[in-house]
Amino acid sequence: MSVAHESMAASARRSRPARAVKKSMQPGERVALWVSRVVIWCVIVMVLLPMWFVVIASFNPSNSYISFSLFPSNASFANYRALFQGGQFWIWVRNSLLVGVVVAVVQSLITAMSAFAFAKLRFYGRKYGLMALLLLQMFPNILAIAAFYTALAKLNMIDMLSSYMLVMLGTSAFNIWLLKGYMDSIPKELDEAAVIDGTSTWQRFIHVTLPLATPMMVVIFFLTLVGIFSEYMFAGTILQSPWNYTLGVGMYNLISGQFAKNWGEFAAAALLSAVPLAIVFAFAQRYLTKGLVAGSVKG
């Protein structure tokens, strides 16, 4: 009886989870830890403080953009009511969403096919094509505004949302390089197995590479959408009618008047324009994190 009792006690001790050994910290490590915490909190305050001033300006009816008080004394929704009058703000949001979603979807597909060709196929001119993409990234987009405007003016395509979409579809050189690096990390044995099974190049792209590259595709979609919402140079050059304005052009016109600058309405529009992107980020956060991290490790 005692032998059985001892065996049961020994098995209970073995099944009991081992306690984590508390590691003692050296004085230098403790100081470094607290210094890093202080630096992190300082950075957080530096990032959030300007955003808080934008929130204050949006509720400040005096139309002042800079306030030295952390809380507005006479807060009201006057700037939001003025922003919604006439419905122009909703037109800007609609145009930005339309252009952003269309450009993000089409550019993601073009980027995926281009990156697959450079990463998985071998063809004449592949090396020089990659060099051309690298050279295109070295020049800022502002250098091409005059050429785009001249070409669209000759084709009578100025002040059209479709023209603006067409121009923005051509700004995907960086995304191609980004997705190509991710596809290079996909094991080539998967492609070899697909070739042995008799699949075509298109089938390899659709059924093998594209599903594995979904996290990075979501990252490219989100970055493109954010870029469209914040883009002004091409939109301000191509779009000239108020009903074709995007958020960037419309918000700039709020503060570009010669005698009046609607800083309060501008701050309110800046806060509201972040709502669609925050919603997209909330739904795609899991894929964004996976896509940004997975491509850095060779598989």
The series of mean pLDDT values per 10 residues for the chain, 299 residues long, is 48 49 66 89 89 84 66 80 86 92 92 88 80 78 85 91 89 82 85 84 88 87 87 89 90 75 84 85 73 53
Cα-trace Rg, the chain: 27
* C-alpha separations of 139 from 17, 91, 133, 144, 243 in Å: 60, 33, 11, 9, 32
Architecture of domain 85-294: Orthogonal Bundle (1.10)
Helix (H, G, I), strand (E, B) or coil at 149: helix
Q: Given this model, what pLDDT does residue 299 score?
A: 43
Q: Name the one residue in this structure whose structure tokens are 């929130």.
A: 55
Which run of H or E residues covers position 17?
A: none
Secondary structure class of 231 (helix, strand, coil): coil
Q: For residue 177, what pLDDT is reported?
A: 84
Q: Which two tokens stand for residue 189?
A: 């044995």
pLDDT of residue 196: 86
Are the beta carbons of 52 and 70 closer than 8 angstroms?
A: yes
What is the model's pLDDT at position 2? 47
Asked whether the beta carbons of 202 and 261 are under 8 A apart, the reply is no
254 and 269 Cβ atoms separated by less than 8 Å: yes
**Cα 288 from Cα 281, distance rounded (Å):** 8
| pTM (predicted TM-score) | 0.76
The pLDDT of residue 176: 86
Q: What does the DSSP 8-state code read for residue 157?
A: -
Q: How far apart are CA 63 and CA 78, in angstroms?
A: 10
pLDDT of residue 102: 94
CA distance 250 to 230: 11
Residues 6+ apart with CB under 8 A from 292: 219
Give alpha helix (H) positions in 59-172. 78-84, 88-120, 126-138, 145-154, 161-168
| Lookup: tokens for 85 | 């009058």
Return the SS3 of 148: helix
pLDDT at 92: 92
* DSSP-derived secondary structure letter, 25: P
The CA-atom distances, in angstroms, between 206 and each of 53, 86, 115, 177, 200 are: 48, 46, 13, 19, 10
**DSSP code string of 94-117:** HHHHHHHHHHHHHHHHHHHHHHHH
Owner of token pair 């005096």: 62
